[in-house]
């Protein structure tokens, strides 16, 4: 019998917590999100449409899904740093 009462109380606690979260959701949604801009350095040239084109499509989709609040700009190998030094640029905080 103790297990049943525990489950009833746990269910009521979960329901109360969910109701509180749902009540707070409009307040959370109304806050203005800051605009974020990132640079994506790639080791691949623009001529490799399968790889670099995929990165461009990904960046475009992220911008669409966030209503322009999160923008990622892709750069081909050699535009920001030489192609094989992308990892070092990320480590140093360049990109």
- Which of the four pLDDT bands, split at 50, 70 and 90, describes residue 63? very high
Question: Which is more confidently placed, 19 or 79?
Answer: 79
* Cβ partners under 8 Å of residue 84, min gap 6: 43, 77
pLDDT at 20 over 50: no
Kindly give the residue spans of alpha helices, DSSP state H, lying in 30-71. 49-65
- The chain-wide mean pLDDT, for the chain, equals 80
- Per-residue model confidence (pLDDT) at position 30: 54
Mean pLDDT of 39-50: 90
- Per-residue model confidence (pLDDT) at position 27: 52
């Amino acid at each position: 019998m103790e297990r049943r009462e525990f489950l009833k109380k746990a269910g009521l606690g979960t329901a109360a917590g969910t109701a509180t979260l749902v009540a707070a959701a409009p307040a959370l949604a109304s806050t203005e999100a800051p605009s974020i801009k990132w640079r994506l350095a790639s080791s691949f040239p623009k001529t490799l449409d399968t790889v670099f084109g995929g990165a461009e499509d990904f960046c475009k989709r992220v911008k669409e899904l966030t209503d322009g609040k999160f923008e990622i700009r892709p750069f081909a190998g050699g535009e920001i740093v030489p192609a094989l030094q992308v990892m070092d640029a990320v480590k140093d905080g360049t990109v």
